[in-house]
Amino acid sequence: MPSEDKPIAWAAYAAENEKTSWADQVEEEETGGMDFPPSSEKVIGDIKTVIDYKLNKDDKKVKVIRKYKLEVKKTSKSVARRKLLKKFGLSKDDPSGPNKATTIISEEVMMQFMSNKEEELLQDQDDPTLSKFKHQLQYYMFFKNFKGTARDPSTEEPKKEEPEENAGAQSGAPGKYIPPSLRAGGSAAGSSMPSRGNRDEQATIRVTNLSEETKEPDLQELFKPFGPIQRIYLAKDKHTQQSKGFAFINFHNREDAAKAIKSVCGFGYDHLILNVEWAKPSTTN
DNA sequence: CATGAGCGC
């Protein structure tokens, strides 16, 4: 059954362009100069008709007509839905299907996804090059996604005492908790918190779900695109120095901290998804 | 899973 398992889109494309498919061409070559008419296939509605010529067991030429009912594969549902969308722009008057003048039909592209299991295997191999590469790739992806929102420290202006825009409220993240002192119009004065006269204390974020391999320099690399960092504290066991999997990042500017929360929360890092929130004031205060 | 540390009026 030739080309039955070919992608439907290709069959439809071949039919629309009244050409034989690649698979049929191969078959024609394989019949080796026999004067068979070329086989053909047509798609009408959801019925595909394939016309073939071949020798039967009595060495007689026969015409073989086969009809298939086409089914959209389960995995192609979204593709099928997309096909119903109207064309727009310069292509809005084109007939349905790919236009050869503007569209290249590529070969099937295989995507490779890494499961957690495989990542663990990679780590078990204890290959520092591989591990380093993985880290860099993840950081690169992160930076690509978020450099638009991150502040470039080299062009950083000196901090100004001006009323701050409320980054949290405009971030489109409703339900995110913002301490009262950070809300628009809020100020430390009048809050129930004992004032330490240090606004920078409010520019601290807590990062949880860090892998135990994460070190302070990693955190610095991760967060410095958002702005100058005042202090990094990675919680560790006092005796074993084992990371406890969470850390505090102290920015100079609250807005940078807000951007860091917005951008890094949910970011995959070292096989874990980071959680980033505003830090509560430390217990001793 | 999870909100740091030491200082010492």
- Give the confidence band of A125 by pLDDT, cuts at 50, 70, 90: very low
- Give the confidence band of A56 by pLDDT, cuts at 50, 70, 90: confident
Span CA (A274) to C1' (B8), Å:
37
pLDDT at A226: 97
Angle between helices A216-223 and A254-264 (to 10 degrees): 100
Span CA (A52) to C1' (B5), Å:
82
Please name the residue whose C-alpha is nearest to the C1' of nucleotide B3. Answer: A280
Residue A110 confidence (pLDDT) above 80: no
Straight-line distance from the first to the last Cα atom of chain A, in angstroms, rounded to the nearest whole number: 77
| CA–CA distance, A80 with A78 (Å, rounded to integer) | 5
Angle between helices A116-124 and A128-146 (to 10 degrees): 140
Span CA (A197) to C1' (B6), Å:
20
Q: Cα dist. A272→A120, A133, A278 in Å?
A: 11, 17, 19
The Cα angle at residue A169 between residues A163 and A173, in degrees rounded to 5:
150
pLDDT at A221: 96
Span CA (A5) to C1' (B9), Å:
83
Strand extents, DSSP E, A31-158: 40-44, 47-55, 61-69
Superfamily designation of domain A116-152+177-187+199-278: RRM (RNA recognition motif) domain (3.30.70.330)
Condensed to tens digits (0 to 9), the pLDDT of residues A82-96 reads: 777 888 888 888 888
| Mean pLDDT calculated for residue range A129-156 | 48
| CA–CA distance, A172 with A193 (Å, rounded to integer) | 28
- Give the confidence band of A224 by pLDDT, cuts at 50, 70, 90: very high
| Mean pLDDT calculated for residue range A84-112 | 75
- Give the confidence band of A177 by pLDDT, cuts at 50, 70, 90: low
Determine the residue type at A135.
H
pLDDT at A21: 46
Percent of chain A residues topping a pLDDT of 70: 50
Determine the residue type at A230.
Q
Spell out residues with C-beta < 7 A from strand B: A 204, 206, 208-210, 233, 235, 238, 244-246, 248, 250, 277-284
Q: What residues does each domain of chain A span?
A: 8-91, 116-152+177-187+199-278
Task: Retrieve residue A233's tokens.
Answer: 């504290």
> What average pLDDT is seen over chain A?
68
Residue A268 confidence (pLDDT) above 80: yes
Condensed to tens digits (0 to 9), the pLDDT of residues A132-143 reads: 555 555 555 555
* Of the candidates A252, A257, A254, A276, the residue with the CA atom closest to the CA atom of residue A266: A276
| Mean pLDDT calculated for residue range A180-184 | 51
Percent of chain A residues topping a pLDDT of 90: 26
Which has the higher per-residue pLDDT, A215 or A196? A215
Backbone angles phi, psi at A205, to 5 degrees: -115, 150
